[in-house]
Amino acid sequence: MHPEPGRAWLPTKTLQYVEQCVAHWVMSADVMTFMIPAISKETPHGPDRLNVDHYADHLDGLVLQGGADVAPESYGETPLRPEWSGDRIRDVYELELVRAFMQRKKPVMGICRGMQLINVAFGGTLYQDIAVQTGSDTKHQCRQHYENNFHRVRILPSTALAALYPQVTEATINTIHHQAVKDVGRDLVIEARSTDDDIVEAIRWQGPSYVVGVQWHPEFMSPDDPSLLDGKPLLDEFLAAARGR
């Protein structure tokens, strides 16, 4: 969160945050989670010798949480509207993290914005706004209902995601995004699509380490609701990769 002059608290400061639900979702498997602060020179106490490689050396896996739009500049475009400018500063930092973890063959999971960033990391592009650029009338984002906005997803056969959910061909997921994958990045495979408008909902790298992205928020969906896709198989797969199994 960048400085905002009208903000009541810390109006001149950059704030770095982790959303509690995503941290608790990972921690539900009895693993420790840490926020990864950006390494920057914008304060007088910025570190001289640290870089993202040190994070990748010491941590077992990387989860990219949701948040602000990915900036169109990050995939070679200009914003179609000012409000779709995204957060280029965050993009640059998170792209560095993705590359550092991949170089060490450590797993990366992207959720919502995180999936979009993974696609961009592999040279893909995004719809800056689904409704405007595709004409879809599916409500992928509803500010009134937020995480309680749902639609159906189709898990594509013969994919690793289908193997994780062997009894599931379609499921209900939440949806909180107006941007989405347009051109799929190199060596990425689509694993799920929205049943209504075919929007990409899950991707996976075909390279030597685990890199997976989902457009929905498993951390916001109750594990006690049988009508929703259970996020536990996805989390277990990611953590197995982090443990090297």
State the catalytic residues.
Answer: 112, 217, 219
The encoded tokens of residue 34 equal 């840490």
Alpha helices of 40-150 — where are they, by DSSP H?
52-58, 88-103, 113-121, 130-134
Determine how many CB atoms are found less than 10 A away from the CB of residue 1: 14
Q: Beta 62-64 vs 126-127: how paired, if at all?
A: unpaired
SS3 12: coil
Quote the CA–CA distance of 228 and 156 in Å, as a whole number.
17
Q: What does each C-alpha distance from 91 to 38, 64, 86, 202, 214 come to in angstroms?
A: 11, 11, 9, 20, 18
Q: Beta 200-205 vs 180-181: how paired, if at all?
A: unpaired
Report, in angstroms and rounded to the nearest whole number, the Rg of the chain calculated over CA atoms: 18
CB 43 within 8 A of CB 10: no
Could you give phi then psi for residue 156, rounded to 5 degrees? Answer: -75, 140
